[in-house]
Structure 1
Amino acid sequence: MGLKSSEAVVIGGHNLGEADRIVVFYTRSYGKVRAVAAGARRIRSRFGGSLELFTHGCLVYFERSQSDLHRLNEFAIRQPFHALRSSLELLAAASEVAELAGVAGVEGEGSDELFALIVGTLGGLNTGKEFSLLLRAFEIRLLKILGYLPELYRCVKCRGTLPEGHQSFGLNEGGLLCPACRAEALESMAVSPAARQFLRIALGEMASDRFSPDAKLSDELRSLLQTFLEFKLGRRIRSARFLAGISGFFLDTSSPS
């Protein structure tokens, strides 16, 4: 019990009473933290605009030993990431990062690797990099951090060599399958050679600069990674589904009639 501080990102929140707000942070040192920002909704609140969704800063809060809802003392902005709120698509893309951070984050357990992934992805989105590519790299790296990294080099079931060309990905098995093991799999998805190449590259540091998928490959990667994530997490990724819906709408409306 007492004051604690950590680098943090705002990943959610909701109103409390007439003037307060509960803010959800993902912190480098303590994982997911929920804190009450007293008077945050008042016009002259001392928090100002620091508690906007996706804001990266330095958090100071008073820990309550008998509750997982703490008291917010201060949140000093490091990076406001204003551009993430400038369009519906960017807002939805950043919301997927925040939603998955909330699902993956554990209260009381910080992760330098996960925190760096969250801030790095939000920063990339904020600078205008192609959001589909950034999100796919975020998803595969998140799977690795959570211990769900799919097998991409050998058959996940029999450990045999994989043939060239299109392959199958087993959801239950957690990786690529050879033709013989594919026949026994309950649920599987087709994987193209290009998708397999991207998944390997995305585990490196420069995935977004070394690979440029077309629309068809982007759709394949989105479907594969989001289906596998939802399977492993046991829940729908609502923001990802919303983003897929509005991206399709914008694509349709921008096409010549």
Structure 2
Amino acid sequence: MSSEKAEGLILRVTDFSETSRIVVLFTREFGKISGLAKGGRKLKGPFESALDLLATCQIVFLRKSSSGLDLLTEAKLVSRFHPQERDLVCLYAGYYVAELLLGLTEDYDPHLALYVAAQDALEMFRNTESTMLGVVRFELVLLREIGQLPDFENCAACGAELTEGRTFGFWVSEGGLICPDCQREEYTQISIHAGTAAALRLLAGESEQAWKRLNLAPQQLKEVKHVTTSAISHVLGRRPKMLKYLDT
């Protein structure tokens, strides 16, 4: 076993014994890893009470050569997730990020852009007014990084460019928006206006700053959430559990 160092966001913590824990992290350097933290339940020791859900830590671990848990040997707290007091929506949004990273990423498949997007989202969740924008940005970056981002440039049916001034449908099973000429009743649950399509392209883009200047109208946010919820649920094979709390 070789010793590795990484920065990681804690996605799940499970008690394993009277003194130990199993910890799943999404790391900057290695992607998702699962490790056994011997002594992780003790107040003092090599983990310094750092193993909390959605905390960011600098860790040292021994990587197993075969399948099974890695061995966490050290964790130093970098930051904790602190939503505003009594703001349950922000808290649930943080849990939602963890749920998606657990369900839609593979072990040892690093995505630096996705790690940055997760950290940006948690920072935005500190402010109620920016929570949902942070949620949809994270959803779209996740879809992009795992190769499941819907096409917001061209019609998923005929391939025609989606032009300004028109209203589109969304066809989740074909992975994209549909022009008016190709729309059918069975996949026109909600209309996606051209301005929303432009917002989706910006939110899904590689720029880490441009999307933060967006100010979505309520109807645009509704349309964006329809697209991201449908796409995430389609890839995951079910509706994410935390969405019912965010929807309220």
**TM band (smaller chain):** 0.7 to 0.9
The 3 A distance-change label for structure 1 pair 10 and 85 is farther
- Deviating more after overlay: 31-40 vs 75-84: 75-84
**CA offset at residue 225 of structure 1?**
0.7
Deviates more, 1:99-108 or 1:202-211: 202-211
For residue 51 of structure 1, report the CA deviation from its aligned partner.
0.9
Secondary structure, aligned partner of 1:82: coil
CA RMSD, Structure 1 to Structure 2 (Å): 2.3
Q: 2:50 aligns to what SS in structure 1? A: coil
The structure 2 residue matched to 1:213, chosen from 213, 216, 233, is: 216
Query: Quick one: which of 227, 237, 242 aligns to 1:239?
Result: 242
Kindly state the Cα deviation for residue 223 of structure 1 after the two structures are TM-superposed. Answer: 2.4
Counterpart Cα distance in 1 of 2:187 and 2:111: 32
Give the aligned partner of residue 20 of structure 2.
Answer: 20
* Cα distance in structure 2, aligned partners of 1:66 and 1:211: 46
Q: Which amino acid aligns with 2:64?
A: R
Provide the residue aligned with 1:254 in structure 2.
Answer: none
Amino acid at match of 1:105: T
3-state DSSP class of the match of 1:134? helix
Is this contact kept in 1: 2:13–2:51, CA < 8 A?
no
Alignment partner of 1:238: what SS? coil
Distance 1:129 1:60 in 2: 36
2:229 pairs, out of 208, 219, 226, with 226
* Offset of residue 219 of structure 1: 2.7
Which amino acid letter does the alignment assign opposite residue 156 of structure 1? A
Partner of 1:78: 78
Name which of structure 1's ranges 134-143 and 100-109 shifts more when overlaid on structure 2.
100-109
CA–CA separation in structure 1 for the residues paired with 2:216 and 2:138: 15
Structure 1 gaps, min length 5? 249-257
1:18-71 per-position Cα deviation (integer Å, ceiling 9, x unaligned): 232111101122221111122222344542331111111211112223332121
What is the TM-score of this pair, normalised by structure 2?
A: 0.87
Deviation at 1:141, TM superposition (A): 1.6
> Equivalent residue of 1:172, what SS?
helix
1:44-59 matched pairs, under 5 angstroms: 44-59=44-59
2:232 and 2:156 map into 1 onto residues whose CA distance is 17
1:115-126 matches, cutoff 5 A: 115-126=115-126
Matched with 2:5 is 5
- 1:128: how far off? 6.0
**Other-structure match for 1:255:** none
Distance in 1 of aligned mates of 2:225 and 2:83: 23
Instruction: Output aligned runs, 1:132-143, within 5 Å.
Output: 132-143=132-143
Alpha-carbon distance change, 201 to 179 in structure 1, aligned in 2, over 3 angstroms: same
Q: How far did 1:73 drift?
A: 0.6
Q: CA deviation at 1:120?
A: 2.2
Q: CA deviation at 1:84?
A: 6.9
The corresponding residue for 1:112 is: 112
Q: Does 1:41 align with 2:44?
A: no
Alignment partners' CA distance in 2, 1:179 and 1:113: 34
> Could you state the TM-score of these two structures normalised by the residue count of structure 1?
0.84
Equivalent residue, structure 1, for 2:183: 182
